[in-house]
Amino acid sequence: MPTTDAQIEQVRALVAAIPRGRVATYGDIATAVGLSTPRTVGWIMRTDAADLPWHRVLGANGRPAAHLAQRQLALLTAEGVPIRNGRVDLRTARFPLPAT
């Protein structure tokens, strides 16, 4: 099943819905939208999410993608997100995404 425009919009909407100081994972978003792989979410962030709070999206391990780590962690710290050793504590910062 190819990714639809509607799904891309849903991904954008969910990312935009993450409150300041909270985060979500690529996998969470993929599941909520019904995508078969979180990679697709990564692809959307890369291409069509420059105007969204992209820094609130992390990998399942609580770490940002390597090339963005420095910048992303700085932004998250500024929002008060709990970070330990470059790793976000998902147990407390994870935002329960609204299922559609």
Partner DNA sequence: TTACTGACGGAGA
Partner DNA sequence: CTCTCCGCCAGTA
Instruction: Decide if residue 16 touches DNA (CB under 7 A).
Output: no
Q: Which of 99, 88, 68 is nearest to 21 (CA)?
A: 88
Site for DNA in 17-76 (CB under 7 A): 25-27, 30, 35-47, 49-50, 54, 59-61, 65, 67-68
d(CA 77, CA 34): 30
Residue type, 95: F
The contacts of residue 75 (CB under 8 Å, 6+ apart) are: 55
Which residue lies nearer to DNA by CB, 20 or 39?
39
Positions in the binding site for DNA (CB under 7 A): 1-3, 25-27, 30, 35-47, 49-50, 54, 59-61, 65, 67-68
